[in-house]
Amino acid sequence: MSRYSKNPNQPSAEDKALDRFTELMIDKIKSMKDDWHKPWFTEGALVWPRNLTGRHYNGGNALMLMLHAEKEGYKLPVWCTFNSIQKVLNPEQKGAKENDRELVHVLKGEKSFPVFLTTFTVIDKDTKAKIPWEDYKKLTDEEKKQYNVFPKNHVFNVFNVAQTNLQQVRPDLYTKLEEQCALKRPVHEGEVFSFPAIDSMISNNAWVCPIKPEKQDNAYYSLSKDHIVVPLKEQFVDGESFYGTVLHEMTHSTGSANRLNRLKAARFGDREYGREELVAELGSALICQQNGIQKHVKGDSAAYLKSWLEDLQESPDFIKTVMSDVKKATAVISFRMQEVQQQLDNGQHVRPYTQEDAVFAPTLVDEVPFKEKPKVEEPEEIAAMGIPSGTFRKVDVNALFGALKRDGEARLSDHIVGEEDRQSESEDISQSEEEEDAISRGRGR
């Protein structure tokens, strides 16, 4: 797991962060392996993580912060940086009365936890000139085709408010945060939970593909038919189990070739199949947690607990790629659920899903809303081998063989046409309150 570091003999900040994430996931899966009926997050666990200004963290950052908070026993899902403590909690004090107030600070001996922030370098394909990311987002779809967008990861360190003296020196603010972060549960219908947004998505065909509750015993997403089948709600032991299963299959459905293009040809029991099960489990657990629902490991997913542990321990990049896919899938689900919930809140009839509602992007799903690509049949020969369309890229053959002749070895990936643009340097950024907001807005993993 050797990424760029000023000292090649030392692990990079990203390496260290991913190592901590991996350790958290290993601990969680080990505990579930001993009792796979345990939920991903314990009952009464924290609501969705946020920063001091109220911005919510996204995807992998949210997942890891919740696991870390659960492990450490933190009571509030509020996180801050050294910089935001000074800017938000300790602004410049002008009056004598304010100057007498004790400042908020991190308690001695407390250790931070890493989160990711992704920044984007936008380069004109012809002139190689850079433009700001905010300017790029304002361009039309046609104008954006003129630019290449290259993401760059940064690691920042945050503290939970429990690691500060906030409760002692600002009890009024701490109480306010407690009220803001109170856990909201779904609506009860007698003894069964009701989740209006998902119920409406099912009954009004408002998800990206049809969801069909049927009186049978299997829950699955059919890639060939592009629909979800689940047992009837009354067949489940409780409403939470029903919605957790629906969200698991919804996560699978985001991975079709015309959406996030994540699903590959695999059979039950294969490593690739098991990896997709982990993406679906984590994605559904995050959405459930965000909405106050307890999510247990899906029965047939429990068989993969051992292989998940092996992959986490053997492959350094496993957690990174899984987190990336979870981030994209949950962004799509959350976006669509918010649209449906807004229609319900406004007293509107929930509209069926159309391609105009699609927000899929291969790499920047929460930043660059792309329209859903038309579904096309892949050549059987390629599909059978599990090679997604668009896999092949142009290679500068002359440069490849030149390097081979000169150095005695060469890597194909170094000679992909256009790859030199990736070497453009991104300007270093300094951490500020605005950047912390950017982390929680969803540009982190």
Domain ranges of the chain: 13-183+426-443, 187-357
Q: What is the mean pLDDT of residues 11-35?
A: 84
**Ordered DSSP codes for 343-405:** HHHTTPPPPPP-GGG----SS-TTTS-PPPPPP-PPPHHHHHHT--TT----B-HHHHHHHHH
The chain-wide mean pLDDT, for the chain, equals: 77
Say yes or no to pLDDT of 23 above 80. Answer: yes
pLDDT above 70 for 294? yes
Share of the chain above pLDDT 70, in %: 69
Strand order in the sheet with 113-124: 50-51, 78-80, 147-160, 113-124, 130-131
Give the span between the Cα atoms of 435 and 427, in whole angstroms.
14
Q: What is the pLDDT of residue 392?
A: 37
User: Where does the pLDDT of residue 172 fall: very low under 50, low under 70, confident under 90, or very high at 90 and above?
Assistant: very high
Q: Are 196 and 337 in contact (CB under 8 A)?
A: no
Give the confidence band of 273 by pLDDT, cuts at 50, 70, 90. Answer: confident
The sign one gets for the Cα dihedral 55, 57, 59, 62 is: negative
Better pLDDT: 382 or 96: 96
User: How does DSSP assign 190-250, residue by residue?
Assistant: TTEEE-HHHHHHHHTT-SSS-EEEESSS--EEETTTTEEEEE-GGGSSSHHHHHHHHHHHH
C-beta of residue 149 within 8 angstroms of C-beta of residue 422: no
Q: Read off the pLDDT of residues 96-144 as tens digits, 9 standing for 90 and up.
A: 455 567 899 999 999 999 998 888 899 999 999 999 999 998 999 899 9
* Residue whose token pair is 């945050």: 158
Q: What is the pLDDT of residues 333-362, one digit of tens each?
A: 998 999 999 999 999 999 999 877 775 543
User: If you average pLDDT over residues 318-343, what whole number do you get?
Assistant: 91
Q: Is the pLDDT of residue 287 over 50?
A: yes
- pLDDT of 288 over the 50 cut: yes
pTM (predicted TM-score): 0.68
Picking from 29-38, 252-261, 382-391, which range would have the lowest pLDDT averaged per residue?
Answer: 382-391
Nearest to 263 by CA among 206, 329, 307, 320: 329
Q: What share of the chain is helix, strand, coil (3-state, %, to 5)?
A: 45, 15, 40
pLDDT value of residue 4: 39
pLDDT given at position 348 = 94
Q: What is the mean pLDDT of residues 234-238?
A: 88
Distance CA 359, CA 370 (A): 5
Ranking 59-63, 69-73, 406-410 by mean pLDDT, the lowest is 406-410
The residues, any chain, with a CB within 8 Å of residue 438's CB and separated by 6 or more, are 117
User: Where is 169: in which H helix or E strand?
Assistant: helix 166-169
Tokens 């038309």 sit on residue:
374
- pLDDT for the residue numbered 307: 85
- Asked if residue 281 has pLDDT above 80, the reply is yes
Tell me the sheet residues that pair with 159.
80
Lowest mean pLDDT among 169-173, 189-193, 211-215: 189-193
Mean pLDDT confidence for 48-65: 88
Residue closest to 228 by CA, chosen among 216, 246, 206: 246
Tokens of 19: 């190592």
Position 36 pLDDT exceeds 70: no
